[in-house]
Amino acid sequence: MDDEPQLFDTPGSSAGLGAMASGGSLADATHSSAPLAVRMRPRTLEELVGQEQLRAPGSPLRQLVEGDQSLSLLLWGPPGTGKTTIASIISQQTGRRFVEVSAVSAGVKEVRAAIDAARRQLVATGEETVLFVDEVHRFSKAQQDALLPGVENRWVTLVAATTENPSFSVISPLLSRSLLLRLQSLTDDDIAAVLDLAVADERGLGGELVLEEAARDHIVRLAGGDARRSLTYLEAAAGAARSKGSGTIDVETAETAADQAAVRYDRDGDQHYDVVSAFIKSVRGSDADAALHYLARMIEAGEDPRFIARRLMILASEDIGLADPTALPTAVAAAQTVQLIGMPEAQLTLAHATIALAVAPKSNAVTTAIFEAVADVRAGKIGQVPPHLRDAHYAGAKTLGHGQGYVYSHDAPFGVAEQQYAPDVVRDAAYYRPTELGAEAAVKQRWERVRRIIRGK
């Protein structure tokens, strides 16, 4: 029919699902010429890898599938974590039609046409429709508004997927009418399980090829938690192995297929610690080029970007401190950005922070200060809090002499009062010894003046 909705292939989705939307069977969508990622798409919640929190007994998703309820969903998570798959499972296990529209190329007209077609189908045959909208955050407000009638009247079971926070990218009326499910990044073990299944399953390679462990590890690292990407690499590697007449997918074949060398880096072995150590020491040593080299090795090996960001935050205080007061805020901002946007874009942020910290003036005065203070405390140099600094707000405190003689700093010249703050046992301790490097030179001058006033020297 001319007024039937046009179906679109979205980035990361599969053309094979289009057959299901127009009345085709699952077999049509998973024929042998379909991409491996399509053929291996889980058919039930039990086959879904990862996302245990969504598959648990009594969870909203399981209630929706097993209870055959009509409930719209917003799926929020990184690419390749199963958003399209979940929509397909809902369609298959509840016997609903599957219709997909693209947030990239569909307009209000196409959205309304899809909903009208679903309504007519429901009235004519009683068959319900799962309307899948990938990258819903790309829809304008008007396009998202067009979805509301179908959701409110339950003409469709809307499953909208997004990689961005729906609180900022989805209109409130649609957000309030949908159940928000958060999908987590797949672990390396999850991706490895996906690959092993694809190698053995008849829908995949059917056991025709052997995937060496080193090659599997390489593909897992390249996938970066994206199951679809891992299957794409596996399919390319399988094709390369067959073209060579080999029954084995080794590291060399995987490297050739993915056009990316396998980085010799074991996240649980010596390479992990050696590369991370060299990275930190290069930043500490102010060699930005060497630091970037080790950063690139970690990124290409699939190191967790949050781990790298945490190490930079530690370094900002440990090796820079007040020599550049902007170092720690830069590192913290980088860690927050990594958490918000993820890879691969976050590699720009990590490089930004790495260079900034590498070229910053260095000082370990903060590190030395806290370590020496802790050492004194552990050595038993505790002492009593001077009476004039003790809490004087409770009844009877003043009769004990608490607070007597305390000088309020703001009443003193320059806002600094001469009085004893430390216990007697460490009265003359000098833990913080600022350097004359970078911004800490000015801190040094002020601290020396302040300390002389405080101690009356």
Average pLDDT of 260-281?
A: 68
The predicted structure's pLDDT at residue 348: 94
The least confident of 64-68, 285-289, 414-418 is 64-68
pLDDT at 12 over 60: no
Residue 150 lies in a domain: yes
The predicted structure's pLDDT at residue 280: 94
Q: How far apart are the first and last CA of the chain?
A: 94
pLDDT at 296 over 60: yes
Query: How many Cα neighbours within 13 Å face the side chain of 79?
Result: 16
The least confident of 30-39, 69-78, 328-337, 346-355 is 30-39
**Is there a single domain that holds both residue 61 and residue 178?**
yes
State how many domains the chain has. 4
CATH number at residue 379: 1.10.3710.10
The model's confidence at residue 271, banded by pLDDT at 50, 70 and 90, is low
Q: Which of 336, 362, 388 is the last residue of a domain?
A: 362
pLDDT at 75 over 60: yes
Helix (H, G, I), strand (E, B) or coil at 212: coil
Q: What is the pLDDT of residues 167-208, one digit of tens each?
A: 888 899 998 888 888 888 788 889 999 999 999 999 899 989
Residues above pLDDT 70, as percent of the chain? 88
The predicted structure's pLDDT at residue 260: 55
pLDDT at 270 over 60: no
pLDDT at 220 over 90: no
Residue 40 lies in a domain: no
Residue 437 lies in a domain: yes
Average pLDDT of 206-225?
A: 87
**Is there a single domain that holds both residue 300 and residue 411?**
no
The predicted structure's pLDDT at residue 194: 92
Q: How far is CA 260 from CA 215, 302, 359, in A?
A: 12, 13, 30
CATH number at residue 251: 1.10.8.60
**Is there a single domain that holds both residue 178 and residue 193?**
no
The predicted structure's pLDDT at residue 349: 95
pLDDT at 45 over 50: yes
**Is there a single domain that holds both residue 427 and residue 414?**
yes
CATH number at residue 295: 1.20.272.10
**Is there a single domain that holds both residue 159 and residue 110?**
yes
φ, ψ dihedrals at 76, nearest 5°? -120, 120
Average pLDDT of 14-28?
A: 35
pLDDT at 20 over 70: no
pLDDT at 31 over 60: no
What is the overall mean pLDDT for the chain?
A: 82
**Is there a single domain that holds both residue 175 and residue 192?**
no
pLDDT at 366 over 90: yes
pTM beyond 0.85: no
The model's confidence at residue 47, banded by pLDDT at 50, 70 and 90, is confident
Residue 243 lies in a domain: yes
**Is there a single domain that holds both residue 64 and residue 166?**
yes
The predicted structure's pLDDT at residue 332: 96
Helix (H, G, I), strand (E, B) or coil at 349: helix
Average pLDDT of 350-363?
A: 94
- Give dist(CA 363, CA 372) in Å, integer: 16
Average pLDDT of 95-100?
A: 86
Q: Could you write out the three-class secondary structure of 366-426?
A: HHHHHHHHHHHHHCCCCCCCCHHHCCCCCCCCHHHCCCCCCCCHHHCHHHCCCCCCCCHHH
Q: What is the pLDDT of residues 388-417, one digit of tens each?
A: 777 777 766 667 778 777 888 888 888 888
**Is there a single domain that holds both residue 276 and residue 262?**
no
The predicted structure's pLDDT at residue 32: 62
Q: What is the pLDDT of residues 309-344, one digit of tens each?
A: 999 999 999 999 999 999 999 999 999 999 888 888
CATH number at residue 103: 3.40.50.300
The model's confidence at residue 25, banded by pLDDT at 50, 70 and 90, is very low
**Is there a single domain that holds both residue 207 and residue 235?**
yes
The predicted structure's pLDDT at residue 218: 85
Average pLDDT of 142-157?
A: 88
pLDDT at 56 over 60: yes
Residue 77 lies in a domain: yes
The predicted structure's pLDDT at residue 397: 66
Residue 435 buriedness (CB in 10 A; 0-12 / 13-18 / 19+):
middle
Give the residues across from 103 on adjacent strands: none
Q: Which of 251, 267, 283 is the last residue of a domain?
A: 267
- Give dist(CA 305, CA 299) in Å, integer: 7
Average pLDDT of 444-452?
A: 87
The least confident of 27-31, 137-141, 243-247, 433-437 is 27-31
Residue 78 lies in a domain: yes
Residues above pLDDT 90, as percent of the chain? 24
The predicted structure's pLDDT at residue 51: 83
Average pLDDT of 358-380?
A: 92
**Is there a single domain that holds both residue 128 and residue 202?**
no
φ, ψ dihedrals at 355, nearest 5°? -65, -45
Residue 3 lies in a domain: no
The model's confidence at residue 362, banded by pLDDT at 50, 70 and 90, is very high
Helices (H), 43-155: 52-55, 60-66, 83-94, 108-125, 141-152
The predicted structure's pLDDT at residue 357: 95
Query: Could you tell me how many residues make up the chain?
Result: 457
pLDDT at 373 over 50: yes
Q: Which of 341, 362, 383 is the last residue of a domain?
A: 362
Helices (H), 201-226: 213-223
Residue 214 lies in a domain: yes
Q: How far is CA 391 from CA 156, 328, 387, in A?
A: 65, 33, 9
**Is there a single domain that holds both residue 344 and residue 291?**
yes
Average pLDDT of 12-24?
A: 33
Range of the domain at 278: 271-362
**Is there a single domain that holds both residue 62 and residue 154?**
yes
